[in-house]
Structure 1
Amino acid sequence: MRRLATYLLCACCACALCTIIVVLSCSCEQSPPPIRYRASPRIQNSADERRASLPKTYLMIVIMTRANDSAVRAVIRDTWLKLSSKGVAVFRHIFPVGIANLSKRSLELLDEEQNLNGDLLLLDALIDDYANLARKTLMAIDAVCHMYNFDFLLKEIKKLLEQKVVKEKIKKLYLGGGYVLSHKLADFISRNKDLLKLYRYLDLYSSMLTAGRLCVKEYRTRGSYVYDWSVPPSMCCVRQNTSIWREGNLKMPPTPKRRLKNFASIRCSLKSDVGRGREQK
């Protein structure tokens, strides 16, 4: 028993000695405060101030072409883009091009075109093919939101047609179709680009971006019917519930009586007997 007490006493002394050594070896100087990230004035500015500092234009035109479409871009510049004499305060244009897998010669040709016209948007991290068309659109929208202060964005796809002129000449004219996005929607796409799901088909992707709850208010003007199973089939589908309609100038659209009657007989016949479910014409 005495031997055990001796061992415990020695252990306590050793622990106390180690504690004293550690305390004395520590410096009494206070540690320096942590280095805080100091944002640049551009980052500290609000979104409106940042947008105001960018070059201003009313309509930003984004025209989708590929690296080997230099002739197409030349025709677009000489025809479609010259239909208006307005300056850069009204509209600007840009050609996004993916350059991830291009040869050295192709890059040199693009550099020459860029030095001559200055309207190319070279996307380093994009392989420009049809499978990446949705990603290219997303990257182009994000880029122009950080480059220009615009009110609307017109996204165009190339469609080069040959039209015969009276003087036995063939004049090429760009007649591509597209869609228009407001700056608010384009900025929403830019800020949420990492969260948006990419689809293979561009029309589906564009519809997905502009659908759902992106609008501040959304209304549906379709008929809603409350079925009453306690009345004859011809009376079961008369709409009585008006709670889904917004109070104001919106009115319930008229429902053709014939269509309502046929729909009522078909719907109510599912529950009623065969003899009762058929309505006399």
Structure 2
Amino acid sequence: MARAWRQSKNRIVKNVFCLSCLFILPLLLLAIVVYSKSKHAESLPIARDLSNQKSDSSFQKFFNLIVLIMSDPTKSATREAIRQTWLSNNHEDVKHLFVVGSKGLAQDVLKNVLDENSSYHDMVILESINESYSSLTGKVLAGFQWLHSNHNFSFLLKCDDDSFVQMSPLIAELNKQPQKHLYWGFFKGGSSVFQRGKWKEKDWFLCDTYLPYALGGGYILSSDLVEFIATNALLLQQYKSEDVSVGVWLSPLKIHRVHDVRFDTEFKSRGCYNEYLITHKQSANEMREKQANLTKTGKLCQSELRVRYSYNYNWTVLPSQCCKNFDPELP
């Protein structure tokens, strides 16, 4: 009798234990998932948009083109030159935003940024981004994430604060490009991976050369590609160069890669041609000079000048052979 009672008691304890597992294990798994997500979420840069506190109403407004200009917090004079030159002609369906990082800024610099934004309402401040070359890829990625979450748009132009853009011709040409899956800029392929200096890619392991990418002085992405990058941000490997990183992130996709010699977006300007839609490595004075030329003559350059040769990207060959045919006839 006692033996039967003990067996019955053991069965009851075992059943109670099993029932407890059914309730406790799911709770433990949920806790682990939440904790894991919270850790990953904390690793993402926090973006604070001070250009428009009512992001919901901003999202409802549609823009054909949003211009994200990567800028250093201390370069208020450069931003002012840009506002006075190539951003001075208003386009109703175009919005511009200067993207700056504020982590670790001196209080006087941060105050100047906040005061500047109070006057112009055109800045996105990334509170978890240090301003340095090594954080540029994270800055661009965070800007894409913020943009995807806060605005409704068709295209993004990412450029630097030393780029001059002919906005009206660019918009006119944009209407001729594929409206979806567009990656438009001046492409480079087959370049050797940097092994030293500030461009050193210590995490690069894909192959012996960089994958094809549009140079970072200015490139355009359709909103669906921005969405792809933003929604997969946690899974994306960040490399030292932001333009190289974007090329890698988009490399497996079936998209329209459009190489355009009118994007003078290399590490050094190729000169001055009236056809250029974007010209990189421009000082504030050079921007003002180009804007004055456009106002007076309708042409970008006082006289066209070639400093370096250009090329048409050959998509029919391997990247190592893509960009060797320099053509003196190209701008």
**Short-chain TM bin:** 0.5 to 0.7
* CA displacement, residues 154-186 of structure 1 (integer Å, 9 cap, x when unaligned): 00112179xxxxxxxxxxxxxx94011011111
The residue aligned with 2:48 is: none
The residue aligned with 2:168 is: none
Structure 2 CA distance for partners of 1:20 and 1:210, relative to 1, 3 Å:
closer
The residue aligned with 2:4 is: 12
The residue aligned with 2:114 is: 111
2:76 is the counterpart of 1:70: yes
Structure 2 CA distance for partners of 1:10 and 1:98, relative to 1, 3 Å:
same
Structure 2 CA distance for partners of 1:13 and 1:193, relative to 1, 3 Å:
closer
Structure 2 counterpart of 1:79, one-letter code: T
Work out whether residues 54 and 147 of structure 1, in 8 Å CA contact, stay in contact via their aligned partners in 2: no
Structure 1 counterpart of 2:76, one-letter code: S
Work out whether residues 135 and 198 of structure 1, in 8 Å CA contact, stay in contact via their aligned partners in 2: yes
Work out whether residues 63 and 95 of structure 1, in 8 Å CA contact, stay in contact via their aligned partners in 2: yes
Q: How far did 1:57 drift? A: 0.7
Scaled by the length of structure 1, the TM-score of the pair is 0.53
The residue aligned with 1:137 is: 140
* CA displacement, residues 51-87 of structure 1 (integer Å, 9 cap, x when unaligned): 99532111100001011111111111111101x2322
Report the Cα distance in structure 2 between the residues aligned to 1:216 and 1:51, rounded to whole angstroms. Answer: 32
Report the Cα distance in structure 2 between the residues aligned to 1:18 and 1:209, rounded to whole angstroms. Answer: 58
Query: Which residue of 181, 195, 216 corresponds with 2:221?
Result: 181
Structure 2 CA distance for partners of 1:123 and 1:222, relative to 1, 3 Å:
closer
Structure 2 CA distance for partners of 1:121 and 1:204, relative to 1, 3 Å:
same
Report the Cα distance in structure 2 between the residues aligned to 1:110 and 1:142, rounded to whole angstroms. Answer: 22
Gapped runs of 5+ residues in structure 2? Answer: 16-22, 27-55, 165-215, 258-314, 319-331
* CA displacement, residues 240-271 of structure 1 (integer Å, 9 cap, x when unaligned): xxxxxxxxxxxxxxxxxxxxxxxxxxxxxxxx
Report the Cα distance in structure 2 between the residues aligned to 1:81 and 1:152, rounded to whole angstroms. Answer: 17
Identity between Structure 1 and Structure 2 (%) = 27
Scaled by the length of structure 2, the TM-score of the pair is 0.46
Q: How far did 1:216 drift? A: 8.3
Structure 2 counterpart of 1:209, one-letter code: W
The residue aligned with 1:124 is: 127
Structure 2 CA distance for partners of 1:19 and 1:67, relative to 1, 3 Å:
same
2:49 is the counterpart of 1:57: no
The residue aligned with 1:209 is: 249
Query: Which residue of 157, 168, 183 corresponds with 1:154?
Result: 157
The residue aligned with 1:251 is: none
Q: How far did 1:107 drift? A: 2.0
Structure 2 CA distance for partners of 1:75 and 1:20, relative to 1, 3 Å:
closer
Work out whether residues 64 and 95 of structure 1, in 8 Å CA contact, stay in contact via their aligned partners in 2: yes
State how many pairs are aligned. Answer: 172
Report the Cα distance in structure 1 between the residues aligned to 2:245 and 2:11, rounded to whole angstroms. Answer: 66
Q: Aligned ranges for residues 28-107 of structure 1 at < 5 Å?
A: 54-82=60-88, 84-87=89-92, 90-107=93-110
Report the Cα distance in structure 1 between the residues aligned to 2:75 and 2:9, rounded to whole angstroms. Answer: 81
Report the Cα distance in structure 1 between the residues aligned to 2:218 and 2:148, rounded to whole angstroms. Answer: 18
Report the Cα distance in structure 2 between the residues aligned to 1:149 and 1:20, rounded to whole angstroms. Answer: 60
Q: Aligned ranges for residues 248-259 of structure 1 at < 5 Å?
A: none
Work out whether residues 145 and 187 of structure 1, in 8 Å CA contact, stay in contact via their aligned partners in 2: yes
Moved more, 12-21 or 111-120: 12-21
Structure 2 counterpart of 1:54, one-letter code: Q
Structure 2 CA distance for partners of 1:52 and 1:187, relative to 1, 3 Å:
farther
Work out whether residues 69 and 159 of structure 2, in 8 Å CA contact, stay in contact via their aligned partners in 1: yes
Q: Give the alignment's Cα RMSD to 1 decimal.
A: 3.5
Structure 2 counterpart of 1:213, one-letter code: L
Work out whether residues 55 and 147 of structure 1, in 8 Å CA contact, stay in contact via their aligned partners in 2: no
2:192 is the counterpart of 1:192: no
